[in-house]
Structure 1
Amino acid sequence: MLAALLLVLAALPFYVDAQVLKIGSWSMAAAVGAIGLTLLVGTAGQLSLAHAFFAAVGAYGYAALADPEGPGWPSVAAAIGGVALAAVAGLLFSPVAARLRGLYLGVASLGLVFIGQHLLKNLSVVTGGVNGRGIVPFEIFGFQLSGASPPFDIVGVPFGAQERLWYLALFSVIVAAVLARGIMVRRPGRAFAMVRDNQAAAAALGIDVQHHKAAAFVVSSAFAGGAGILSGLAYAYLTPQNFGLPLSISFLLMAMIGGLGSVAGAVIGAVIVTATPLLLESYASRAGLLAAGGSGGYDAATVSSILFGVLVVVLIVVEPAGIARLGARAWARVIRPRAF
């Protein structure tokens, strides 16, 4: 089933328009960040509202390192550098993360978002200030994976920027999912879970509690940096408004809706939270079912907020583990052998 799903996703650029591909690329970029947050919140049990800050560090780090008028690094090296910068930012905050937990950690991490907004708006030499800055397309050996150069087509289907970016985002989600799953099922993930469930018992078993709490924050920050880079490539432009508090709340909402601690749930939650308002804006507003943004009435953003609020309440009441657990229960009923 997984192979079939990947095959369908790989074939979509041949059959859907650029608008759908753009929404899909944004959703997959968000999924990378949501995977990192579910690893932090669900597996390690640490609340963070700073994901937008680390996403900004990754995005602006890539843009600065790949800038031809600056260091001019190759895209792959600049992307690795952007992710590394986000991880370093998480490492610098890790002493705080190692000593706090729960709501206190959430409030402390929230301060990073406000600090980040101030820096993004005032470090105009690097960030472009309030107006933002452009971002160099991702390319390998002169072939752009987030641009349209050089032009080419496959079986008569032109592959422009959106088609190429779709495959880059899909590859990134697969890599992020594999890495996160590997962490969860191996010793680090088991240590994270032990620290989450009972810090005293974890310490008694020889687990360095503060070290593992800090490590979880660093790893999650690296995922957020990757998400920021993908988002920047999808938007083709970086502005401080794209990395504010609403983004951090959206990441947390993705993890909660999908199911904390579930990689597949994080991807599902990211698609729901990211794609729903965009699809409503693109199709329902165009059909006259919703008001246009800023014209009064119920626009796509308002309806999406209502839907997400209702969905979170329903999931907390019905299945706190999120959509992933509901899907697993439904699948178990389907494949469960009948008793004779």
Structure 2
Amino acid sequence: MSKPLVWGAVAVAAVLVPFYLDAFWLTAGLFAMSAAVGAIGINLLTGATGQLSMGHAFFLAVGAYGYVYFSSHPEDDLGGLGLPTPVAAVLAIALAGVAGGLFSPIAGRLKGAYLGIATLALIFLGQHVLFNSEPVTGGYNGRAVPPLELFGFAFADDPELTVLGVPFGAVERLWYLAAALLAVSAWFARGILLDRPGRAMNTIRDHETAAGVMGVPVTRYRAGVFVLSSMYGGLAGVMLALTFQRTVPDYFGMLLSLDYLAMIVIGGLGSVGGAVVGAVFVSLLPQLLTRYSDSLPLVAQTGTGGFSPAEASRMLYGAAVVAVVLFLPGGLLGLGSRIRRSLAGRLPHPRKTRSAP
């Protein structure tokens, strides 16, 4: 089947999904799509350029809280600018890019584990700010997220909207927005990877000295990719905030950064498709375990002798990371490609099966 037909089928399926799935599956899909956007960003940095980052959750927090502060009106002890929500979303993504730019001189000069340790400091800094800057972040209780309004259309439950007999609330409306943002994000990242910048990034990852000899500005590329990755994280943070409808500091911790590293390793380093596949796997697994915990062995509430769904999911995709590193260097995407090539090799070629005239 040709690629245009495949992508056409995916687009049709994305349009039809809200008409057939309930709120649980749509919400799970929203989390998966927002995770995929963030995973694409860190895959550009870690998978394509070879720069380890442990601070991706910090940039998601900047995007999420930036959107909330820019779009909220001041009330009680909480501040806000009350800007139009589309402007607030763009500024939040830009703010994440600025935060990445402030750190980019360090990112441009460090590599490997040294950069990973340096970015880990961002998590501790971010947690301290989120918990203690109550007028901006709301502290431990977090803040409510204003719904996005685009050209007078609100991505919220009000006003009521019914399409072909199906009520379209916030989840259904956000589904189409998230699908569009993921498609644009994937298209842009794929264009970078397939063009000259992508080749330069891969050369830096594989042969840094050779890249410098060939005239690639290694330091500038590292810093630039770090900023771009930060902006992808900011966009993912905005999408998460709109899905959660409330921001809480606990979510944007070290475990979230580890989740993103697991996504790109499991899915496949250095590719947009691998980031999306890994994000779907890692983000959906705990939700599925939570939904079906009553019928699964060893999965139970904390204190009952079993593993909680969150603990069980991290154990499972931790095992998946080990399995990928040992047996599937290309991740789940590479496994899919190998299976497809194997099936293609077994099928007879059309010209060979054509009878002679």
1:142 is matched with which residue: 152, 158, 180?
Answer: 152
TM-score normalised by structure 1 residue count = 0.96
Find the counterpart in structure 1 of residue 129 from structure 2. Answer: 119
1:52 aligns with 2:57: yes
Question: Given the alignment, which residue of 170, 175, 181 partners 1:166?
Answer: 175
Q: 1:294 to 1:72 in 2, by over 3 A?
A: farther
Contact 1:61 1:81 in 2 (8 A): yes
What is the correspondence of 1:1-340 to structure 2 with a 5 Å cutoff?
Answer: 1-69=6-74, 70-145=80-155, 147-282=156-291, 284-287=292-295, 289=297, 290-293=299-302, 295-336=304-345, 338=348
- What is the CA distance between 1:77 and its match in structure 2? 1.2
Change (3 A) 1:52 1:294: farther
Q: Once the 2 structures are TM-superposed, how far is the Cα of residue 302 of structure 1 from its aligned partner?
A: 2.5
1:98/1:163 CA distance change after superposition, 3 Å: same
Partner Cα distance (2:31, 2:11) in 1: 18
Distance, in Å, in 2 between the alignment partners of 1:181 and 1:157 is 35
Partner Cα distance (1:156, 1:90) in 2: 45
Decide whether the 8 Å contact of 1:32 with 1:176 is kept in 2.
yes
Q: Distance in 1 between matches of 2:22 and 2:82?
A: 33
Deviations 1:293-340 (A, max 9, x none): 454412312221221122112111211121111111212233346466
Distance in 2, Cα, partners of 1:58 & 1:265: 23
- Within 2, Cα distance between the matches of 1:306 and 1:240? 24
CA drift of 1:24 comes to 0.8
Describe the SS at the equivalent of 1:92: helix
Q: Distance in 2 between matches of 1:261 and 1:144?
A: 36
Distance, in Å, in 2 between the alignment partners of 1:293 and 1:84 is 40
Q: Is the 8 A contact 2:143 2:246 kept in 1?
A: yes
Deviation at 1:253, TM superposition (A): 0.5
Q: Unpaired runs of 5+ in structure 1? A: none
Aligned CA distance change for structure 1 residues 75 and 294 (closer, same or farther; 3 Å)? farther
On the 8 A contact 1:293/1:300 being kept in 2, the answer is no
One-letter amino acid of the counterpart of residue 123, structure 1 = S
> What CA distance in whole angstroms lies between the structure 2 residues aligned with 1:196 and 1:310?
26
The RMSD of aligned alpha carbons is: 1.4
For 1:310 and 1:194, the matched residues in 2 are separated by 30
Q: 2-side partners of 1:335 and 1:2: how far apart?
A: 20
Give the TM-score, by structure 2 length. Answer: 0.91
Contact 2:262 2:318 in 1 (8 A): no
3-state SS, counterpart of residue 175 of structure 1: helix
List structure 1 runs of 4+ shifted beyond 6 angstroms.
none
Q: What CA distance in whole angstroms lies between the structure 2 residues aligned with 1:248 and 1:297? A: 26
The C-alpha deviation readout for 1:101-122, integer Å capped at 9, x for no partner, is 0011101100000000001111
Percent identity at matched positions? Answer: 46
Q: 1:173: Cα distance to partner? A: 0.9
How many residues end up aligned between the 2 structures?
338
